[in-house]
Amino acid sequence: MSSDIVAVIGFVVLFALMLLRVPVGMAMGLVGVAGFGYLSGSGPALKIVGHTSMRTVTDWNFAVVPLFLLMGSFATTSGMSRELFRAANALLGHLRGGLGIATIAACGGFAAICGSSVATAATFSRVAYPEMRRFGYPQSFATGVIAAGGTLGVMIPPSTVLAVYGLITEQDIGKLFVAGIVPGLIAVLMYMATIALIGQAFQGYLPAGERTPWGERLSAMRDIWATLLLFLFVIGGIYGGLFTATEAAGMGAGGAFLLGIARRRLSGKDIRRSLLEATRTTAAVFTVLIGAILFGYFLTITQTPQKVTEFLTGLGLGRYGVLALIMVMYLVLGCLMDALAMIILTVPIIFPVIKELGFDPIWFGVIIVMTVELGLIHPPVGMNIFVIKSVVEDVKISTIFYGVLPFIITDLLRLVLLISFPILALWLPSKM
């Protein structure tokens, strides 16, 4: 059997296993090793399992993932999200649609210290949703705002998804994080503008909240110093060349812990919970990473990336045509898969195409994260939608999807903007 046919069978079996709920990493590992074994013998195939598994889990560069997850967990359990929402609400809540705008601002702030979209969506479902409902926001819009705001978690650094992209493609994670800052801010501003436009277009649809006296506004603003300090410490440290990405993650986790203790926001129980949450997610992510590296051997021996590159560049669509095709593929895959799994599975195949077409790998990292971020909110899977549903149980999934529609349009516009003007992502890293 030719290696092309083996590759096709491998992909078919992989998708079948994944659809039958075999953990993504395990399915990739199984297909990768079986395919590699078929083409090169079972001895070498078994040898790579033990070697790759141990090498992956002891690769110090990969420590960036659990450490940033831990930093996010400490930030969540120590109530930083609540402080951010209080401050944003005090400043913006009195405007028409102000509570929605405040939710986006707080999600953006929280994303700056927590690299997880799911954690951001879950946290603000508890913090912001009851407040929006209290002021008469429709259920669909309130949940839609939170689902969209949650996606900021993967865009604004530190971002777990960007870190994993950097690890797979061997790009500088620090540069990737810095590249995410301007697109992340654009995302915040465009989401806010969307809410303001809807508030203006449909009078009474998004009522204004209470006006907060200036004394309370200043008091609320004072509470967010810890979040600002943590963000400046971590991202400033990377930007200024003080830390590597892994060190920044460890300093962030340590910093979030110390801030929580000093401000008496972390009890023994909270610390245990944060450690457990970070451990669970780490184990799940590393399973996919190990599986992806094993699958990588299969891709190499079947020369799949080279063949995909030849095929796509030979279509005669031009570089932007091929890029558009790749984006569409990611949007379709987003209907089926988790963002991280999608990145880990597809980037080793797609990345050589991007290099061949002459696109900047840092810029592509930002673009790819923005695209998979869309998958977090678009039907039928939309991870953030299910997270919100698990917290706000009385809302229908279809109601949340309806509420998130304006933000999907905003995201598509932002994608076009970033593809048209790569400088928006590349300007800051060029100053490093």
Residues that bind other proteins (CB under 8 A): 17-27, 29-30, 33, 46-47, 49-51, 53-54, 57-60, 62-63, 66-67, 70, 122, 243, 246-247, 249-251, 253-255, 257, 272-273, 275-280, 282-288, 335-338, 340-341, 380-381, 390
| CB nearer other proteins, residue 64 or residue 353 | 64
Query: Smaller CB distance to other proteins: residue 154 or 285?
Result: 285
How many Cα atoms within 13 Å fall on the side-chain side of residue 7? 17
Q: With respect to other proteins, which residue has the nearer C-beta, 198 or 275?
A: 275
- Evaluate whether 109 touches 221 at the Cβ level (below 8 Å): no
Q: How far is the CB of 85 from other proteins (least distance, A)?
A: 21
Q: Which is nearer to other proteins, 83 or 338 (CB)?
A: 338
Q: CB nearer to other proteins: give 50 or 314.
A: 50
Distance in angstroms (rounded) separating the CA atoms of residues 287 and 277: 16
Q: Which of 128, 93, 91, 90 is nearest to 107 (CA)?
A: 128
**Shortest spacing between CB 287 and other proteins, in angstroms:** 6
Cα distance between residue 173 and residue 252, in whole Å: 15
Cβ proximity to other proteins, 16 vs 417, nearer residue? 16
The least CB distance from residue 239 to other proteins, in Å, is 16
Chain center to CA of 313: 29
Rounded to a whole number of angstroms, the minimum distance from the CB of residue 47 to other proteins is 7
Question: Residue 89 in contact with residue 209, Cβ under 8 Å?
Answer: yes
Query: CA-CA distances (angstroms) from residue 45 to 14, 55, 289?
Result: 17, 15, 17
Residue 360 beta carbon to other proteins: minimum distance, rounded to whole angstroms: 29
Cβ distance to other proteins smaller for residue 29 or 98? 29
Cα dist. 316→33, 138, 272, 310, 320 in Å? 35, 48, 56, 11, 11
Provide, rounded to whole angstroms, the least separation between the CB of residue 176 and other proteins. 20
Task: Provide the residue type at 195 as one letter.
Answer: I
Instruction: List the one residue out of 119, 117, 118, 124 whose CA is nearest residue 143.
Output: 124
Shortest reach from residue 137's CB to other proteins, in Å: 26
Our CA angle for 19, 22, 23, nearest 5°, is 110
